[in-house]
Amino acid sequence: MTSQDPKPKKNLIIDTDLFSDVDDAGALLLASTSPHINLLGIQVNKPSTYSVLAASAIVSYYTPSPHKAIPIGVFRHPTRDGSVIPLPDTTFLDVVSWHLGEFASKIAHQFTSPSSPDSVTQFRPSTIPWGHADEDAWDALPLYRKLLSEADDASITIASIGFLDNLSLLLDSDPDAFSPLTGRQLISQKVAELVVMGGRYPAGRSWNFFGSDPDSTHHNGGRGLGLGPKGTANVINNWPTLEKDGWKGQVVYVSDEVGEKVLTGGELVKKGPKGDPVGRAYGYYAYGEARPSWDPVAVLYAIDGLGELFKYDERYGHGRNWVSEQDGSNRWVWEVEVKNQFVLALKADHEAVAREIDRLFLKGALSAAVQRAGPMSL
């Protein structure tokens, strides 16, 4: 590649728990509208028909080409007899503050139901239609193995902005029809970077690291439907390394504190197109108020790298993360020989990062609205 050649696009897979917080929707907007990446697929780690449909609707709405299909996978809890557990269709209920609204089922119905005037199924036929989440969504594990096996070596970035259950299944997977490699070997060969939104540093406890635990009560009144802390610990503690597996990539952790004060989404509700799905999601969830940007920060870093907004926290230059499989708590373990794990920090102030995310939200939403209006006006 010469100096005149454009920088190659990064291959990105997003693993999201789109359901109980709207910042996942904002993160999907960023990924779906960025010119700097190839969005290979969306993995949903919160088993829910509405999560699957909302994810499909969002990426379909923003994808420029009607012929490009972004596959959607969803976590399926392994069963001893190989049977498939149907996806639940329960909705989010804020039983903590009794303030936040539900958005996933609304976006799912409004943008995937053929009877809805806002449905994207008419001009994006690859969208999973209302009522078909169970049969049309991929199981996350085979989708991961397919996407990785088809990619160039060391070309994939995975942004985990939710539970790590899908990644745990991938890590432990056996060879299959997609690849003769184990999951560990596939990761070592194909993944260049893992970005994990979760954890507190140097130590603490984070929702993304324990919230899928079936034995843990959810803040929406239900219970987890995944692997819980054991799945998280498997990924964080046993991820491939250079010494054991020859993996030359890196892991970057985005702590809960980083996006907590980066408040975004309010501008999209006020100034964005009225028919924009993510703008509506922020309106339903927070009634137009700006929200913390845990997941948009992680995905923006996954897309663009450090740039002018981010840096690696110098306090964690050598070492690795460690997670308890009992309760999902984490702590940073200092090890001089480990040089490929980092904790992200803000280089710019919170307000500057928020302005940039809001700018990208509006740019992506307005561009999609123009593209959608074009064929309709002919």
Quick one: pLDDT at residue 377?
Answer: 33
pLDDT of residue 5: 55
pTM: 0.94
Give the model's pLDDT for residue 97: 85
- What pLDDT, on a 0 to 100 scale, did the predictor assign at position 223? 55
Rounded to whole angstroms, the Cα distance separating 263 from 22 reads 12
Report the share of the chain in percent with pLDDT over 90: 82
What per-residue confidence (pLDDT) applies to 4? 54
Distance CA 37, CA 304 (A): 9
Collect the ranges in the chain with pLDDT lower than 70: 1-6, 66-67, 216-224, 374-378
Question: For residues 8 and 301, is the Cβ–Cβ distance under 8 A?
Answer: no
What pLDDT is recorded for position 238? 97
Q: How many CB atoms lie within 10 A of CB 277?
A: 27
Residues pairing with 197 in the sheet:
254
CB atoms within 10 A of CB 98: 7
* Residue 47, H or E segment: none
Distance CA 77, CA 322 (A): 24
pLDDT digits 0-9 by tens, 75-125: 988 777 877 788 999 899 888 888 999 999 999 999 999 999 999 988 888
Axis crossing angle, helix 350-377 with helix 294-304, rounded to the nearest 10 = 80
First to last CA, the chain: 41
pLDDT in tens, 303-333: 999 999 999 999 998 899 999 999 999 999 9
